[in-house]
Amino acid sequence: MLTKDENDLLTLVEGDAPMGRMLRENFWMPAMLAAPLEADGAPIRVRLLGEDFVAFRATDGRVGFLDEACPHRGTSLALARNEDCALRCIFHGWKIDVSGQVVEIPTEAGEAAVERAAQVKVNHYPAREAGGLIWVWLGKSAPGPFPDLGFCHVPLSQVSAAVTKVPYNWVGSIEATVDSAHIGFLHRDWLKNLPTLGGASMENTAPTYEFEDRPYGYRAAALRRLGDGTTHVRINEFVMPFHSSPGGSGDTQSSYQISVPVDNETTNFFFVRWNTAGPVNTGNLAPAGADLNNWVPLPGTRENNWGQDREAMTRGSFSGFDTFGILTEDTVVQASIGPIADRTREQLSASDMCVVRTRRLLIKAARDFMAGERPLGATGEVPYPHIRGATGVLTPGQKWQDELRMEAA
């Protein structure tokens, strides 16, 4: 349970909110999938931390990331022409390149136009392309270390990146990704597809948690003791400020769920899978052929209970969402909590230790930033490429800390 002030500090990111400022001054953020940005193609509007930007790929393949408003009189540059290595505003034809330089003011003649162009400041932001995503640095300070997570280090043919815009605050989105105990209930219809984890989650629905503090966040082990004397362990890595790698099948494939704040009540939920040994097994997380840019859209609204199928429930479905996929189950329950969870009214229990830990880390990061200190994860000591979730089965006497050191792999 949090106080109202703590919940505001934790969740709000727009304007001068400390959390939003902490995020923009310390962390690179995934802004969008890279694939929709085509050279000389349509610029794409991107909203982050309550502000509007435009991304485009120039003729030479470089990516530009600018404030959405044209510096002249504010026309949306999402409407601009994208040609000759620059955006040309359709209102008066001002031309702006990927570095934010105004390179042409065609409505003014001669030397004056050149001088005027040189004076105009356009807010532009360092952008990078990695792992199938466009990442942006929105801070005023020099960019910090780039979070080159494992999927940034394999060929793109071995990466599957998708995103969905969801109508709730980013912290709720993160909380769903670090909460292992819900699997045995919310995702019960899918457990048959998850042989080891599924069996363990059904047999023991009350995992105990153990933690290791890390220089980037924490590693949490959800331990499920089983009837045969073994212990199933599922390790989730939480990487500041919004990356979560859950334990998956434990082989060469891993995933990250990344919850990036669009504004106070909207989140870009990225889901990235990668396989170090070959193509990604795309599984059944979303319907086959789903649009990667709108990957697991909510199947309804509050008014129709998001399309829950009560008849399916009488036939054996646990959640009533089994026709959609595991991630739809996650997004529906989060949406049902509301745009920003009221954390002053919760009754937390032992299964919520990861949720509590995540909140504490984020609140501390905002407070550290306000005190002029670098928050956890922004100090340049993070072994990003090697951090990924894991699962395994321990025999009596084995310790997960010894057996499942994915970071060293």
Binding test (CB under 6 A) with ligand FES, winner from 92, 360, 367, 374: 92
Q: Does 91 bind ligand FES (CB under 6 A)?
A: yes
Considering the complex, state which of residue 102 and residue 149 has its C-beta at the smaller distance from ligand FES.
102
Q: Which does 341 bind (CB under 5 to 8 A by kind): Fe ion, ligand FES, none?
A: none
Name the minimum Å distance from CB 237 to Fe ion: 16
Cα gap 69→81, rounded to integer Å: 14
Considering the complex, state which of residue 92 and residue 124 has its C-beta at the smaller distance from ligand FES.
92
Considering the complex, state which of residue 65 and residue 94 has its C-beta at the smaller distance from ligand FES.
94
Q: How many residues bind Fe ion (CB under 5 A)?
A: 1
By C-alpha distance, which of 88, 349, 314 is closest to 209?
Answer: 349
Binding test (CB under 6 A) with ligand FES, winner from 32, 89, 326, 332: 89
Considering the complex, state which of residue 89 and residue 178 has its C-beta at the smaller distance from ligand FES.
89
Name the minimum Å distance from CB 95 to ligand FES: 9
Per-residue contact track with Fe ion, 324 to 363, x per CB under 5 A? ------x---------------------------------
Q: Which does 75 bind (CB under 5 to 8 A by kind): ligand FES, Fe ion, none?
A: ligand FES
Paired tokens of 92: 């008066």
Name the minimum Å distance from CB 222 to Fe ion: 13
Considering the complex, state which of residue 39 and residue 79 has its C-beta at the smaller distance from ligand FES.
79
Kindly identify the residues of this chain, within the stretch 93-122, that bind ligand FES according to CB under 6 A: 93-94
Q: How far out from the chain centre does Cα 92 lie?
A: 37
Considering the complex, state which of residue 46 and residue 70 has its C-beta at the smaller distance from ligand FES.
70
Contact criterion met (CB below 8 Å) for 244 and 178: yes
Q: How many residues bind ligand FES (CB under 6 A)?
A: 9
Name the minimum Å distance from CB 324 to Fe ion: 13
Residue type, 251: D
Cα gap 131→112, rounded to integer Å: 44
Residue 191 to residues 66, 230, 296, 307, 328, Cα–Cα distance (Å): 44, 19, 19, 22, 15
Contact criterion met (CB below 8 Å) for 369 and 375: yes
Name the minimum Å distance from CB 361 to ligand FES: 42
Q: Which does 399 bind (CB under 5 to 8 A by kind): ligand FES, Fe ion, none?
A: none
Three-class secondary structure assignment of the chain: CCCHHHHHHHHCCCCCCHHHHHHHHHCCEEEEECCCCCECCCCEEEEECCEEEEEEECCCCCEEEEECECCCCCCEHHHCEEECCEEECCCCCCEEECCCCEEECCCCCHHHHHHHHHHCCCCECCEEEECCEEEECCCCCCCCCCCCCHHHCCCHHHEEEEEEEECCCHHHHHHHHHCHHHHHHHCHHHHHHCHHHHHHHHHCCCCEEEEEEECCEEEEEEEEECCCCCEEEEEEEEECCCEEECCCCCCCEEEEEEEEEEECCEEEEEEEEEECCCCCCCCCCCCCCCCCCCCCCCCCCHHHHHHCCHHHHHCCCCCCCCCCCHHHHHHHHHHHHCCCCCCCCCCCCHHHHHHHHHHHHHHHHHHHHHCCCCCCCCCCCCCHHHCCCEEEEECCCCCHHHHCCHHHC
Name the minimum Å distance from CB 176 to Fe ion: 6
Q: For the chain, give the number of residues.
A: 409
Stretch that binds Fe ion, among 2-10, 62-70, 202-210, 322-330 (CB under 5 A): 322-330
Name the minimum Å distance from CB 86 to ligand FES: 12
Q: Does 62 bind ligand FES (CB under 6 A)?
A: no
Name the minimum Å distance from CB 45 to ligand FES: 15
Q: Which does 175 bind (CB under 5 to 8 A by kind): ligand FES, Fe ion, none?
A: none
Per-residue contact track with ligand FES, 69 to 88, x per CB under 6 A? -x-xx-x-------------
Considering the complex, state which of residue 72 and residue 367 has its C-beta at the smaller distance from ligand FES.
72
Considering the complex, state which of residue 175 and residue 330 has its C-beta at the smaller distance from Fe ion.
330
Name the minimum Å distance from CB 107 to ligand FES: 7
Q: Which does 330 bind (CB under 5 to 8 A by kind): ligand FES, Fe ion, none?
A: Fe ion
Residues of this chain that interact with ligand FES (CB under 6 A) are 70, 72-73, 75, 89, 91-94
Residues of this chain that interact with Fe ion (CB under 5 A) are 330
